[in-house]
Amino acid sequence: MRAALVLTLLCATVAHAEETRRTVAVLEYRAGAKGARDIGMRLARLLRETAAVNVIDAAEARRRIPKVDGEVAKCGGEAMCVGVIGEQLGANEVLLIGVSQLGDLIIALQRIDAKRGEAGARMAESLPIDAEIKDEQVLGWLKQLFPPETFRRYGSIAVDADQAGASVTLNGEASGKTPLGSAIKVRAPATYKLRLEKSGFMPFQARVDVLPDANVEVHATLVRESKDAAWYKRWYVWAAIGGVLAAGGAATAIYFGTRTESTPLGFVHRP
Amino acid sequence: MFPVFHLAYEGAVIQLTSGCGTVATMRRLGLCAAALLVVGCGDRGSVTFNLKAPENPLFNPVLQPELVSEYDIRTATGMVIGVASAVQGSAQGESGLLPLGALMPGASAEDVFVTALSGGNLLGMARIRDVVIQSGKKAAYDAELRKPLIFVGSTLPAEINTGNRTTSVQILDPVASTDLARASSSPPIVAGGMTAGATSWDGRFLIVAQGTTLTAFDNGFGRNVSGSYTLPFAPSRLLVAPRDTAIVALDPGMSGAIAILSDVAGFAASPGGASPKIVNLTGAVARTAAFSPDGTKIYVLTGGPSADPCSPGAMPAANAIQVFSLDGSSIGSFALGGFASDIAVDPQSGMIIIADVAGKQISTLDVASGVTSPVLGSLTCPSAVRVVNGVIFAVTSDRDTSLPNAFVLKRIPLKGGAAVVATAFQGPQYEIPIDSTPSPNGNIQTATLPVRPVSIQAYELAITPDGSRAQFATRAHYKEVNTKFTFSQEDCTANFDIIEYGLYAVDLRTGNASYAQRSKLVQSPAGGTKCVDCSITIFGSTQHQYADCDSVAGDRPAGLAASFGQ
C-alpha cells in the first residue's frame, strides 16, 4: 500500500537541458582520395554522442551553406579562411578533416578556432587504403584532439516538492533544501538515488536515471505522518503487517513448494 | 501437422507410463532419472509441455538447440509457472525432458505462454489455451514453438502514379535479422501478396487479405492453405481476437462495415466455408480496431483509414470508439474529444490506449468507467500506439532537436513512475537535383537540395512480444508553399507537395533504426516541374533557373503483423 502511494507521487519527465555549449562544425576536405568516405559523418556522430558539444555535420553545413564543400576546398587548409566559414555556420570552432591518398590513406585532423582563425590541436594518421576504420579508433583520435573535460557529459535533476524545507539528498549527499533554486547538475549517464526528508513527513525516495543532456523533473508530494493519527494509519504499523504477510506468503510458498504429496511436477519436453 | 520431435539418442527406447502421468519416450539412462522421479511422485500428478517445431526449418526457432538457454512458462497474466534450464552441460540441459519442479495447482484452467530464450534474447514462443494444473492429475499439452516474425505486406498508395506497383510479402525474422521470404533457397512465399494481415493468437497462421480475397498462410509449412473466401469489400485492416475466437476485417469504404468471422482454426482449415457476419457502423467508417483481452469485445475506432492527421493543416473531425460483441451487436460507444489516430488495448488491465492527436497526448480510457487519463503529453501528432508488457510505444512527429532531421518514438510504462524513453529515428529526406557542373577532379558532383518532411505519420505499427523491435509504416509529407531561401547566391522559392511512403525498423535496445523508402509521389506542381524557382539578376536582367521534383513510383507497406506481439 505504501509502495503504491509512493508511485503515485513520482512523476518524471525528460527535457533537453538548455545549456550554452560550444558548437563544432565538422568539415571535410578531400584531395582526390576515395577511401574512408564516411569519415566526416562518423567523426561528427561520435563527437555528438560522446562529447558535451553541439555538432554541425557535413549535411547540416550544406543545408546552411549549400556550396560549403567548394568553399572549404578553396581555403586549402588555411586556418583564417576556414574560420570564416565556421563563423558563417554559427560554430565556435571547426574540426577540419583532410583526406588524401599518397600510397596510403592519410587522414589529418585539425581544430580551428572560428573567431580567431587560429589552428589548434592537430594530428595525422596514415592507414592502408582498404583499412576498415573502427569507431574506437576514431574516438581515440577525438580524445587526442580534445581535452578530457570535453567528454564529460552532464544531465540535471529538477526536484520540486509540495513542502518547503525538505532536505534533498542524492546518493546520500546533501543537495540542499526545497525549494531548490535550480536543477542539480549531475554526471550522466548515471542512476541516482533521490531522497527527500522532512520532519513530520514520510520520506520520499526514487531511483532516477539521468541521460546526458537530459533534465529529469521529479515532483515529490510528501505525505504527513500525523502523530494524532489512529494507530492503524501509522506507516510502520502497515510495514509490520506487510512484513508479517510477506513472511506468511513466503512460508506458504515454501510449504507448497516443498511438500511432496499434492503439488504436481512440471516438465518441458523440448523439440 | 506438427510432428513431435523425439529425442535423437541412440539405444533402447524406454516407454514410461507412470501412475502420476508423464508419458515419455526416452532413449538413454540420463532421462531415466527424470522418469523415475515422475514414477516416484505418487499421486501428486504432473504437467508436461511437449514442445514442437514447425516443419519448415526456416520457421524453426530452435533449429540450433544449443542456443536455447531456458524455457520460460508463464500464465497469460505474466505469473511465472516454471523455468526449465536448457543450457548444455547443466544437469537439466543434458536431457530432452527438462524438469520445471513443483507447480502450484490452480483452481481453474488458464492460458499459458511458453518462451524459448537465448540469454536475454527471445527465440520463439508458443501459446496454449486452457492449461489445468491440478494435484493428482496428469496432463500433457502440445506447444508449437514459433519465431516472433513480423509480416509486411504491400498495397497501392492512394496517390495515383502510373508506375505504382505492389511488392511481395516480407517475412522478417528479428532474431536472424533476415527476410525469410528472400532466403537464398526455397523461400516461403505468401502467394498473391497481402494488402492487410494479422497473425493468429497461437502464431500458427497469418490471416491474409489480398484485395477482397481472404485466406491464410501456414507458418509451419511456410505456404498458403488451400482455399479462400471473397469478402464484399477489400479490407483496410484485419485483426485476430485473443484465443483465436474471431477474425475481424474493416471496410475502408463509405458504407462503413466490419466483417466478423468466428473460429480462426475453422477458417484456416477451410477458408471457402467461412460465413462472416457483416455489421454496419453507425454513420462512420472504421479507422482501426482492437479486441478486449478476453476477445469478447471489439473496439472500433472510427474516422476512416485514409486521414493523415499529421499533415500540415489537417484537422479531422472528432471520432469515436464503437464497441461490438462477437455476434455483431452494438454494446456501446465512447465519443472522443478530438481526433484520435490509433488505439491499442493493454492485455493486462484491459484499458484502451489512445493516440490522441487533437489533445497532443497518449491517454488511457477505462472502459468500465469511461474515464480518460493522460499518460504522456505535449506530443506532436502521436499517430500510432501499442502496449506490450505494460509499456506504451508511441510514434510521434516530435523532432529530436539534437539532430537535423529526426523524429521520436517514445516509450513509457503504462503505470507511470518512470521517465519517458525517447528513441530518435532519422527522418526521410527528399533530394531535389540542382543543375551544377561537376568539379574537374570529379570529387564534387551534381548538387542536390535536401528537404526534410514537415510531418510524418505512422499508419501501421508492430511491436515484437518482448518489446525489443518496432516496425512501422510511415507516410511523410514534404510541403512548401512559397518558401523563400538562398541557394548559391540565388534567390529561390519552393512550392511543392510530395508524399513519401516507407518502412522503419527500430531496435529498441540499441536505438538503431533503418528505413526503406517505398515510394515518393509528387502531388504538386503538376508533373513535378518547376518545384523550385531560383533567380539571379545580372546587369539588370533576371535569369531564372528551375529545379524539377520527380516521383518515384512504388507501393506503401500494409498489413504489418507481429506474431505474438501487437
Contact at CB, A264 and B135, closer than 8 angstroms: yes
Residues A178 and A239 grouped into a single domain: yes
Residues A163 and A247 grouped into a single domain: yes
User: In this structure, what CATH number is given to the domain that contains residue A139?
Assistant: 3.40.50.10070
Question: Any chain B CB within 8 A of the CB of A160?
Answer: no
A2 in a structural domain: no
- Distance CA(B170)–CA(B178), nearest Å, equals 10
Question: Any chain A CB within 8 A of the CB of B431?
Answer: no
Residues A145 and A159 grouped into a single domain: no
* Residue-wise DSSP of A10-33: --EEEEE------EEEEEEEEEB-
Q: Are A24 and A146 in contact (CB under 8 A)?
A: no
- Distance CA(B365)–CA(B350), nearest Å, equals 9
For residue B50, give the amino acid letter.
N
Question: Any chain B CB within 8 A of the CB of A12?
Answer: yes
A253 three-state secondary structure: helix
Between A249 and A22, the higher pLDDT residue: A22
Q: Which residues of A245-270 are buried (b: 16+ CB within 10 A; e: fewer)?
A: eeeeeeeeeeeeeeeeeebbbbbbbb
Domain boundary pick from A122, A151, A180? A151
C-alpha grid cell, residue B276: 462472416
The pLDDT of residue B555 is 97
- Cross-strand partners of B479: B497
Residues A56 and A144 grouped into a single domain: yes
Domains in chain A: how many in total?
A: 2
Between A261 and B334, the higher pLDDT residue: B334
Nearest to B102 among A10, A30, A257 (CB): A257
Question: Any chain B CB within 8 A of the CB of A213?
Answer: yes
Residues A140 and A213 grouped into a single domain: no
At A102-150, the pLDDT tens digits run: 667 778 888 999 999 888 888 878 788 777 888 888 988 998 889 888 8
A1 in a structural domain: no
Residue of B nearest to A57 (CA): B404
- Distance CA(B95)–CA(B70), nearest Å, equals 13
Residues A77 and A166 grouped into a single domain: no
The pLDDT of residue B512 is 85
- Distance CA(B235)–CA(B250), nearest Å, equals 5
Q: Are A265 and A29 in contact (CB under 8 A)?
A: no
Chain A residues in contact with B136 (beta carbon < 8 A): 262, 264
- Distance CA(A29)–CA(B267), nearest Å, equals 64
Contact at CB, B46 and A266, closer than 8 angstroms: yes
Question: Any chain B CB within 8 A of the CB of A271?
Answer: yes
- Cross-strand partners of B410: B394, B422
Question: Any chain A CB within 8 A of the CB of B444?
Answer: yes
pLDDT band at A245 (very low <50, low <70, confident <90, very high): low
Nearest to B100 among A30, A69, A266 (CB): A266
A70 in a structural domain: yes
Domain of residue A126, residue span = 18-151
Nearest to B45 among A48, A67, A264 (CB): A264
CA of B116 vs chain A CAs: smallest distance (Å): 10
The pLDDT of residue B519 is 97
Residues A117 and A220 grouped into a single domain: no
B268 three-state secondary structure: helix
Residues A131 and A218 grouped into a single domain: no
Question: Any chain A CB within 8 A of the CB of B443?
Answer: yes
Q: Are B415 and B351 in contact (CB under 8 A)?
A: no
Residues A39 and A102 grouped into a single domain: yes
Chain A residues in contact with B376 (beta carbon < 8 A): none
Domain boundary pick from A151, A172, A191? A151
List of residues 6+ apart from A172 with CB closer than 8 A: A193
Q: Which of B148, B69, B80 lies closest to B112 in space, CA to CA?
A: B80
Question: Any chain B CB within 8 A of the CB of A30?
Answer: yes
Between A212 and B477, the higher pLDDT residue: B477
The pLDDT of residue A18 is 40
Interface of B with A in 102-161 (CB under 8 A): 102-105, 114, 133-138, 145
The pLDDT of residue A15 is 40
A236 in a structural domain: yes
CA of B154 vs chain A CAs: smallest distance (Å): 32
Going from the C-alpha of B554 to that of each of A9, B144, B160, B162, B505, the distances in angstroms are 50, 37, 10, 10, 19
A237 in a structural domain: yes
The pLDDT of residue B94 is 62
A264 in a structural domain: no
B128 three-state secondary structure: strand
The pLDDT of residue B475 is 98
This prediction has a pTM of: 0.67
At B231-250, the pLDDT tens digits run: 999 999 999 999 999 999 99
The pLDDT of residue B208 is 98
List of residues 6+ apart from B515 with CB closer than 8 A: B425, B426, B428, B502, B503, B504, B505
Strand order in the sheet with A265-269: B97-102, A265-269, B46-52, B138-144
Going from the C-alpha of B409 to that of each of A31, B128, B440, the distances in angstroms are 40, 32, 44
Residues A25 and A126 grouped into a single domain: yes
Contact at CB, A70 and B46, closer than 8 angstroms: no
Residue of B nearest to A9 (CA): B417
Residues A175 and A120 grouped into a single domain: no
A270 in a structural domain: no
Contact at CB, A67 and B488, closer than 8 angstroms: yes
- pLDDT for A229 beyond 70: no
Chain B residues in contact with A270 (beta carbon < 8 A): 51, 62, 65, 68, 71, 86, 96, 98
- pLDDT for A261 beyond 90: no
The pLDDT of residue A269 is 87
Residues A168 and A147 grouped into a single domain: no
Residue of A nearest to B138 (CA): A264
The stretch A51-74 carries a mean pLDDT of 87
Count of CB pairs separated by less than 8 Å, A with B: 155
Residue of A nearest to B439 (CA): A70
Contact at CB, A267 and B444, closer than 8 angstroms: no
Question: Any chain A CB within 8 A of the CB of B37?
Answer: yes
Domain boundary pick from A107, A123, A151? A151
Question: Any chain B CB within 8 A of the CB of A266?
Answer: yes
Chain B residues in contact with A257 (beta carbon < 8 A): 101-102
Between A253 and B237, the higher pLDDT residue: B237
Chain A residues in contact with B415 (beta carbon < 8 A): 7
The pLDDT of residue A249 is 54
Question: Any chain B CB within 8 A of the CB of A63?
Answer: yes
At A68-83, the pLDDT tens digits run: 888 887 777 778 888 9
Between B42 and A59, the higher pLDDT residue: A59
Question: Any chain B CB within 8 A of the CB of A227?
Answer: no
Region of residue B194 (phi > 0: left; psi between -120 and 50: alpha; otherwise: beta): beta
A11 in a structural domain: no
For residue B79, give the amino acid letter.
M
Question: Any chain A CB within 8 A of the CB of B96?
Answer: yes
Contact at CB, A271 and B420, closer than 8 angstroms: no
Contact at CB, B99 and A208, closer than 8 angstroms: no
Strand order in the sheet with A23-31: A54-56, A23-31, A93-102, A104-113, A118-127
Low-confidence ranges of chain B (pLDDT < 70): 1-43, 88-95, 435-437
The stretch A211-227 carries a mean pLDDT of 78
User: In this structure, what CATH number is given to the domain that contains residue A233?
Assistant: 2.60.40.1120
